[in-house]
Each structure stands twice: as structure tokens, then as C-alpha cells.
Amino acid sequence: MNTKESYAVVTGASQGLGKAFAENLAEKKINLILISLANQNLRELSLQISETYDVKVHYYEVDLSIHENVLKLTDLLNVSFDIHILINNAGLGGTGKFVDASSNYINNILQVNVMATSVITHQLLPNLLKQPKAYILNVSSMAAFSPIGFKTVYPASKSFIHSFSIGLREELKDTNVSVSVVNPGAMKTNLNVSKRIEKQGFLGRLTLLDPNKVANASVDKLFKKDSVILVNPISWMIMNILPVWIKLPLITNAVKREMNL
């Protein structure tokens, strides 16, 4: 299969922010390749987007926490499609005591957030470099700007994504590929996340965002080749002004409320 037209790849596209990215790009008449885990109605979503916006949509149900899957998927994409946009959105985190977390839980966060983001980017980069203009958007988080107790691995993984994106952007600055990173605050994207944010009280609500607005603002700024995309600059300013000895206990206490500790 060689589709000739160019495509945007969106990971974690079945729901939440990824779905909002997919719909925003389709509205702009950009063909899509959507990726998520199996049994998340990705087929139905792909058909619906394709019919609503009259664009081509392919979908792949792949567990991105497995390195070999990422390699197989990207090999297939490289032989089948021209890709000019890559949105590394798939990501996960959670709240709990580090000591109580299973090693699988920790590994899953690291594999999806860190390994999949880096390896998908690495494997698809030669494809992106062949296009007249290409864009990479990596989804980090406000959590990248502070360590957080009881989340521990998640903010660290989002700091990785932030640093990785800015480093790669510098490396690719004389090429056709522009790299951006977006650092959203809390979004009510799914039932679990919504419940957690509600329990955080004031601090959770302060950064609360609508995923559709985040996707719209991010895609606009992606095409303007912004480096760091800040969808809520006020919370970003607070995160940057506050020294770590203030923000670390402040945010950790808010997170503790999620756990009723």
C-alpha cells in the first residue's frame, strides 16, 4: 500500500486529548493514522471521523508499551505512508505510594511515556525528513515542571519528554522538521482522571482545561513552529516562579487528597 497523500500519526487517539487532536486535524482535511490499545472502539471512531470530515483514516491497535510492537508498527507505517505530522500523545500516569506500586505499573508508564515517544520519533524521523514540511508534537504535562510525591514516575517521565523535545528541536533546527512540546495542566479526559482532579480541590481546578481547547491551541501553535506550547500560561508562570521547596509539598499535598491520605 502506498497512499501517496500525506498523513498525521496520532498515538493514544481512542479518547481524551488524542481523540481531540484527531478531530482537529481531520477538520483541517488532514488524513490520519490513529493508534491505541485494542478494544477501545478505535475502528468506530476512525469510521466516524472519516465520514464526518471526508478524510482517509487508518487505525492500528497496538500496545505501545512493548518495544517490538513499536518497531513493527513504525516499519509498517514507513513502507505504507508518507507522514508529515507525528503527535506522540499516548501516555499514562497515576497516583499512589511508590512502595505499593507493582513493577509492571512502573514499567508501563516508563515504556509508554518514555520509550514509545522516543522510539516512534526515532523510527519515523527519516519519513518526516522526506516531506516538504513536517511537524512533531510531543505531549508532556505541567507535571514536567515539578517533582511530585505519590506520582513520582509520571512527572519524571514528562520532564524527560520536555527535555527530549527541546533537544531534538535544536538538533533538527536546520531541517524541514519542527519539534514542539505541549505542557497541559489537568484535563477532564476520562472518568478516572476527572475523579482524581475533583479531589485535588483548588489546585486541581486552577489548571483545569478542556481537551478540545488544548488540542485546537496546540495544533495552531504547532503549525507556527512554537517550541514550548503553553495552554495555560498562568499555571506555567506559577510553576516557574515557585521554588521547588514550596511547590513540591504544595502539589504533593493536593495529590494526597486524591488518595484520601
Ligand X SMILES: NC(=O)c1ccc[n+]([C@@H]2O[C@H](COP(=O)([O-])OP(=O)(O)OC[C@H]3O[C@@H](n4cnc5c(N)ncnc54)[C@H](OP(=O)(O)O)[C@@H]3O)[C@@H](O)[C@H]2O)c1
To ligand X, the closest distance from the beta carbon of 80 in angstroms equals 19
Instruction: Report the site for ligand X in 217-256 (rule: CB under 6 A).
Output: none
Among 7, 10, 14, 152, binds ligand X (CB under 6 A): 14
Among 46, 49, 184, 222, binds ligand X (CB under 6 A): 184
Does 204 help bind ligand X (rule: CB under 6 A)? no
Does 89 help bind ligand X (rule: CB under 6 A)? yes
Q: Strand 57-61 and strand 82-88: pairing?
A: unpaired
Residue 139 burial (CB count, 10 A): 27
Does 64 help bind ligand X (rule: CB under 6 A)? yes
Does 65 help bind ligand X (rule: CB under 6 A)? yes
| Span near ligand X by CB under 6 A; candidates 46-54, 189-197, 222-230, 251-259 | 189-197
Among 74, 152, 165, 189, binds ligand X (CB under 6 A): 189
Strand order through the sheet with 6-11: 57-61, 31-36, 6-11, 82-88, 134-139, 177-182, 228-229
Instruction: Report the site for ligand X in 98-157 (rule: CB under 6 A).
Output: 112, 139, 141
Alpha-carbon distance 50 to 235, whole Å? 36
Residue 64 in grid coordinates: 505501545
Cβ atoms of residues 256 and 165 within 8 Å = no
Alpha-carbon distance 97 to 222, whole Å? 36
To ligand X, the closest distance from the beta carbon of 54 in angstroms equals 24
Q: Is 68 exposed, middle or buried (0-12, 13-18, 19+ CB in 10 A)?
A: exposed
Question: Residue ranges of the alpha helices (H) in the chain?
Answer: 16-27, 42-53, 67-80, 103-109, 117-129, 153-171, 191-200, 202-206, 211-223, 233-241, 244-258
| Span near ligand X by CB under 6 A; candidates 16-24, 44-52, 95-103, 165-173 | 16-24
Among 7, 8, 9, 12, binds ligand X (CB under 6 A): 12
Count, residues near ligand X per rule CB under 6 A: 27
Does 71 help bind ligand X (rule: CB under 6 A)? no
**Integer angstrom CA distances of residue 51 from 92, 165, 167, 256:** 30, 34, 39, 44
| Span near ligand X by CB under 6 A; candidates 10-18, 23-31, 121-129, 198-206 | 10-18
Residues that bind ligand X (CB under 6 A): 12-18, 36-37, 40, 63-65, 89-93, 112, 139, 141, 184, 186-187, 189-190, 193
